[in-house]
Chains A and B, each alone.
Chain A
């Protein structure tokens, strides 16, 4: 198992490096490796410099970091809720963000205002769901799951209504809700990367506690884990990471659901191993999806959410079928 784990980590890491380079090289204008090296060594022509340093590099960093953040948050939400269906959006973060973004688009806000609205609305949604789920000092995870679904459904209804009433903004809203990094700037990176990286690392430090919670909340408490505190901390950091990711990348589906699952099939359920692996794998996967989104209908860009679902779905099904004998564990 240990050798197998190390091999998986090595492969994932190499794949990540490869995708990172590829992500800078591929796009409307192809950048060969030589040109990329030139630019990073301080040479290269003006056009290449602009494309690589002002467009591709922030985009690459953002896609990787968002992929990492969503995967780590997904792994923790699945563990905390002890539910394999859970993903970072399960508490209504995505629909909250989408509603915030829709309002911003309809009101004609700029990109920065849009991101801010998405961020604030998603955190407000989680806080609302959290407040509902608090019963006598303890958070009921089941109530939380159901409240998240109910709030999401309601917000989706509001978004649909707003889309109907604002025909001319329809495509912008749809595009935003399916996600993408085509508008990523260094400002986005400066704001979001520190939050996502620090948040993910903070989550990681609670891996051992969440391991114990996976075997039962009550049992964990008897192992000396302050489960109520852990739940709050994980919810706060998980929501922060997710809300930040969504506000810069839109609602990119599927990553936070399947990356932790696929990782679990590869390296096991121990969060101390699963979380770092999901982080690398998630970053690689989203880099890959972003490249595909750019080149598949070149020069038109496809929303990245379409790519993650189109590739992630079948790949996940394949793994499920392959592992059917083992059952669908966590």
Chain B
């Protein structure tokens, strides 16, 4: 059974159609990167997969069940979500933030059990954030904060982890740190779907890449298959050379600068 199945998915904000029929089926745990130009529908696709937005047409199924048939709480046990770094000015400790990840399992008047505390500790250790447990979330660096949010999503014990540009605000060191962490998580049995801006980071860290263009999927597959010059021109209107990264052997995209218009031909 497919972990995630997207069928003829269409979505519109009012009269503006943002997703124009997406079909996708993922059978195994991996890191799936979504790339595409601004406004191509990457984030909207993510929000349809998570059930936050209701498709206008078509469906999203998780483990064979339509996402709209899950209750909100039940859904949160299957899907974890890591937001873009919001500059939260909150006086919460990191431990409190990660404990929020147990909410899908707690009834309204139920207090956290030892099992919840164990899971929180485990998730914080897995993301190397346990030493931050008593620190306030607002005093962390961007990279630390993002790791805490990943820990919270993991505490939901999800089958799918969705990340919307998790590294866009981070410097190169933290980008690598976070994406390496994500890679490790995928290998422990988790489907990670991550929206990325940096094509070369996607190439390095993703098992497969999905390229969006104007609400449609124009390619989906291993980096070596989909990161082609034609796809770059089509999706980003940028001409580029694709070489092989001498270290990793993954494709490396070098855009031609100042030739934005030329690429359109």
List chain A positions with a Cβ less than 8 A from chain B. Answer: 1, 205, 208, 211-212, 214-216, 218-219, 221-226, 264, 268-270, 327-330
A–B pairs, 10, beta carbons within 8 Å = A208-B103, A208-B108, A221-B52, A222-B50, A223-B152, A223-B156, A224-B72, A224-B73, A225-B72, A226-B72
- Chain B CB count within 10 A is highest, among A208, A221, A223, for A223
Nearest-neighbour CB distance to chain A for B157, whole angstroms, equals 12
Contacts of B77 in A (CB 8 A): 224
Query: Are B50 and A330 neighbours in the complex by a CB distance under 8 Å?
Result: no
Return A302 CB to nearest CB of chain B, in Å: 35
Least CB separation from A269: chain B residue: B91
| Of B24-32, B80-88, B252-260, the one touching chain A | B80-88
A328:B103 contact, CB within 8 angstroms: no
**Given A1-B134, A224-B77; A268-B109 close (CB under 8 Å):** no
Closest Cβ of chain B to A237, distance in Å, is 14
Q: In chain A, what residue has the closest Cβ to B134? A: A1
**Nearest-Cβ distance from residue B7 to partner chain A, whole angstroms:** 22
- Among B52, B90, B97, point to the contact of A222 (Cβ < 8 A): B52
B96: chain A residues at CB < 8 Å are 211, 270
Cβ-defined contact, A329 with B90, below 8 A: yes
Question: Given the complex, which residues of A lie within 8 Å of B80, measured CB to CB?
Answer: 222
Q: Which parts of B122-141 form the interface with A (CB within 8 Å)?
A: 134, 138
Q: Which residue from chain A places its CB closest to the CB of B52 in the assembled complex? A: A221
Which residues of B from 53 to 89 have beta carbons under 8 Å from A? 72-77, 79-81, 83, 86, 88-89
Contacts of A1 in B (CB 8 A): 93, 134
Which residue of the partner chain A has the closest CB to B89?
A329
13 further A-B contacts with Cβ under 8 Å, apart from A205-B109, A269-B90, are A208-B103, A214-B90, A216-B83, A218-B83, A222-B81, A223-B103, A224-B72, A225-B72, A269-B91, A270-B96, A329-B90, A329-B91, A330-B89
Q: In the complex, which of the residues A223, A268, A330 contacts B100, with contact meaning CB atoms closer than 8 Å? A: A223
Is B221 in the interface zone, CB < 8 Å from A?
A: no
The reply to whether A216 and B89 form a contact with Cβ atoms under 8 Å apart is: no
State the Cβ distance, A217 to closest chain B Cβ, in Å. 10
**What per-residue 1/0 map shows which CB atoms of B88-112 lie under 8 Å from chain A?**
1111110011001101101011000
B52, B89, B108: the one contacting A218 at CB < 8 Å is B52
Q: Which among B93, B97, B106, B156 is the interface contact of A215 at CB below 8 angstroms?
A: B97
Neighbouring B residues of A219 by C-beta, 8 Å: 81, 83
Q: Please, which residue of chain A has its CB at the minimum distance from the CB of B162? A: A222
Q: In the complex, are the beta carbons of A329 and B138 less than 8 A apart? A: yes
Name the B residues within 8 Å of A218 (CB-CB). 47, 52, 81, 83
Cβ distance B67 to chain A, nearest Cβ, rounded Å: 12
Complex Cα–Cα for A329 and B88 (A):
9
Contact B104 A224 (CB under 8 A): yes
